[in-house]
Amino acid sequence: MYKVYNNQKEFTTNITDFLLKCIPDIRKTQLKIIPYILLGLILAESIVASDIEKKLKGDFTLVQHDSVVKRLRRFFANKLFKPYVFYDAIIKYIIK
């Protein structure tokens, strides 16, 4: 597996721009955390919330470990986030 060599800010900015192109009506709260979740998934090579949190830098290092883990869990438990609609929009954009 290839490692990500770009810095966290550059990666999340690019993913944010990509998501806005794919899903113009994405919620701001989702747009703020999804790029960091994706980066954490890639760097941690894991889907465990605590492993993702350990790999995140920047603003996440100033917050307590448990707070970040709770934030990630709340995001995935949120009924307003519909993963299949999210994935479908990205796939349609890429295929188009």
pLDDT at 2: 56
DSSP secondary structure string, 3-28? PP-S-HHHHHHHHHHHHHHH-TT--H
Q: What is the pLDDT of residue 96?
A: 85
- Residue 4 confidence (pLDDT) above 60: no
Q: Mind listing the pLDDT tens digit for each residue in 31-90?
A: 988 888 888 888 889 888 888 888 877 666 667 878 888 888 888 888 888 889 889 999
Chain segment 5-22, per-residue pLDDT in tens: 667 788 889 999 999 999
Q: What confidence tens digit (pLDDT) does each residue in 22-47 have?
A: 999 888 988 988 888 888 888 889 88
How high is the pLDDT of residue 19?
92
